[in-house]
Structure 1
């Protein structure tokens, strides 16, 4: 048998690579003769960098940059084995954890540090950037990142607009003459795991602003600013403003897609689809007999372009799909409809979350061994 282990991370417990290794060990214990493939996976959000580096057998590069408030930090990025593809997790520079030691500043926080990482990637000679943008503390539509790459944003008097979301509403002019030409020549792909538009009741500020510290007045200001910038960028690009305001996914990570799509023609793609392509998931599963996947919680959101959905939708009909999760909240009928053969909780019994997290690796190992027992024939007998 060929058995593929392609899980997401179990957040707060184990990385995708650790989960894949635990599953693989459980498989080998039960079916020693099986061909086992470990393929750590991610959906374009947190953990994507680690998953891709693990699959590539690469270690991360480190660069000095700044966090969302302009304070010095170190950030990681990854390069593919041939050096042509770079993976940047924006949250390495503009993430909420880096600024959790001070009161959140939703109007001030910006993406300048992400642009510094991109500059280093260009220096490294990459031909493509895969930008993963979840977990941000910013709502600046990528303007800070663009400034780090040479763009300038001015108000009606020609003065530089303030950084962060607070300055978006003042922008009336965009000067792209100083943008690094290499940034125009490479391919940009932005991995998103949400479909929110840029503005409105379901937009970047209204939905994600509160978790970044934005109050009602801040949300209104940010929404107005995003609307203003979308109109300015649309005029510059020669497209209708509504295209930027209403396109699904443009509200991800405080509107980062707006800046990069309008200036560089970046592609906005579902994160799991992008990772699937980069890792060659379809090809790996083509001759598989069984695939084990999983995440912390299997629920309705798992079926909306997340890792489990990506794996189940790409597995051939002859391949069993088994999900191992901390909690299983889908019925057997829902699983079957989603192309999932079976789903099992890794919890051995009632326990506190902290206890389950501490023992997650062993629990995943044991659950994988139990699940593979269904495929191990003949049944072992005691003499």
Structure 2
């Protein structure tokens, strides 16, 4: 029996590789003759570079960069020499967990550190940079990235603005003539797990701002400033950055990358699957185990469990989804190839306890799933 374990991370708890290890630890003693293949996945958010490293190899590089709240942080990216490829997570340099929870406010955060990572990646002999857009603490429309790469974002007096969501309120001029010339020699690819536009009721600020600490007044102001940024891009640069799919990813970083820097925006899971051996591995599985921290109605829209199930469905392979919590509107996942969904919690608990006990709960739940698989296999062979 071949079991493929292909989970996303359980955010703020375990990365995808550790989730896969916990699942195998629970299943292997019950199914001692099974063959397990771990396939850690990511949809473009935290752990995206690690997923590439796990599946195609490479080297990890660490740099001290500007964190989302302007304090220095140590961030990393992955270089694969064979593919002449760099993979960067926005979350590594500009992620929400890097900002203390009690001071989170997307008006004051910056993507500057992500731009510094891109600049550092350009020092290597590469042809492409993939940037995973999930998990940001920012709402600056990529102003920090643009600044770090040499663009001039100026106020009415010709002074550089502070590259934050709040700083966009003073923006009058965008000058891209001073961008790092090495950008012309590489392909930029942005991996995103959302299709939101930059502005409007489904845009970066309205949908994701509250998750980053924005209060009602912050959301109102930041929405105005993103409209200002989009208008200046249109009037001065002739670029429409507001409405294309994914422009609102990572607090508007999608708009800067796709609208101003010429990046291709692609669904993160599809991009990872297309660059690795995942399809052939899944095609030869008897069971597939996947999962993420929360499974709900949003999971069907480009998240790891839905993408994995869609592939497995084509080969008529059963798919089990593990989740830290299960929300409403999951029924559509059963039409996409999911066989069963299991929450890993033993009962009601505080979020802090759930995060702390994720590994133990994954092992226990995976053991129970293995017992179910063993029973079904036994009945199939004796029928």
The answer on whether the counterparts of 1:197 and 1:203 sit within 8 Å (CA) in structure 2 is yes
Partner of 1:366: 367
The answer on whether the counterparts of 1:303 and 1:309 sit within 8 Å (CA) in structure 2 is yes
The 5 Å alignment of 1:326-345 reads: 326-328=324-326, 334-345=332-343
User: Per-residue CA shift, 1:66-86, capped at 9, x if unaligned?
Assistant: 112322221121223626222
Judged with a 3 Å threshold, the aligned counterparts in structure 2 of structure 1 residues 380 and 245 are, in CA distance, closer, same or farther, namely closer
Partner of 2:68: 68
Per-residue deviation, 1:15:
2.4
Partner of 1:39: 39
TM-score calculated relative to the size of structure 2: 0.87
Partner of 1:287: 284
Partner of 2:3: 3
The 5 Å alignment of 1:265-344 reads: 265-315=262-312, 316-328=314-326, 334-344=332-342
Partner of 1:255: 252
**Would you say 1:138 and 2:138 are equivalent positions?**
yes
User: Per-residue CA shift, 1:158-186, capped at 9, x if unaligned?
Assistant: 33333312232433322222211222221
Judged with a 3 Å threshold, the aligned counterparts in structure 2 of structure 1 residues 265 and 3 are, in CA distance, closer, same or farther, namely same
40-49 or 163-172: bigger deviation: 163-172
The answer on whether the counterparts of 1:324 and 1:367 sit within 8 Å (CA) in structure 2 is no
Write the distance in 2 (CA, Å) between the matches of 1:134 and 1:335. 22
Per-residue deviation, 1:112:
1.1
The answer on whether the counterparts of 2:189 and 2:264 sit within 8 Å (CA) in structure 1 is yes
Partner of 1:264: 261
Write the distance in 2 (CA, Å) between the matches of 1:18 and 1:110. 29
Per-residue deviation, 1:206:
2.4
User: Per-residue CA shift, 1:319-353, capped at 9, x if unaligned?
Assistant: 22222334455799655312112333444x43635
The answer on whether the counterparts of 1:197 and 1:249 sit within 8 Å (CA) in structure 2 is yes
Residues matched between the structures, number: 377
Write the distance in 2 (CA, Å) between the matches of 1:148 and 1:331. 41
Partner of 2:154: 154
Write the distance in 1 (CA, Å) between the matches of 2:280 and 2:59. 24
TM-score calculated relative to the size of structure 1: 0.87
**Would you say 1:90 and 2:90 are equivalent positions?**
yes
Partner of 1:126: 126
3-state DSSP of counterpart to 2:242:
helix
User: Per-residue CA shift, 1:50-70, capped at 9, x if unaligned?
Assistant: 333233455632101111232
Partner of 1:186: 186
Per-residue deviation, 1:201:
2.5
The answer on whether the counterparts of 2:288 and 2:317 sit within 8 Å (CA) in structure 1 is yes
3-state DSSP of counterpart to 2:310:
helix
The 5 Å alignment of 1:211-250 reads: 211-239=211-239, 241=240, 244-250=241-247
Write the distance in 1 (CA, Å) between the matches of 2:102 and 2:329. 43
The answer on whether the counterparts of 1:30 and 1:372 sit within 8 Å (CA) in structure 2 is no
3-state DSSP of counterpart to 2:194:
coil
User: Per-residue CA shift, 1:86-120, capped at 9, x if unaligned?
Assistant: 22111222222223177345333221111111111
User: Per-residue CA shift, 1:206-260, capped at 9, x if unaligned?
Assistant: 2322333434443333222211221222345534x4xx22223211221111111
| Aligned residues: CA RMSD | 2.8
The answer on whether the counterparts of 1:297 and 1:326 sit within 8 Å (CA) in structure 2 is yes
The answer on whether the counterparts of 2:297 and 2:330 sit within 8 Å (CA) in structure 1 is no
Judged with a 3 Å threshold, the aligned counterparts in structure 2 of structure 1 residues 87 and 160 are, in CA distance, closer, same or farther, namely same
364-373 or 298-307: bigger deviation: 364-373
Stretches of structure 1 that go unaligned for 5 or more consecutive residues are none
Stretches of structure 2 that go unaligned for 5 or more consecutive residues are none
The answer on whether the counterparts of 2:45 and 2:90 sit within 8 Å (CA) in structure 1 is no
The answer on whether the counterparts of 1:10 and 1:19 sit within 8 Å (CA) in structure 2 is yes
Per-residue deviation, 1:188:
1.5
3-state DSSP of counterpart to 2:265:
strand
307-316 or 211-220: bigger deviation: 211-220
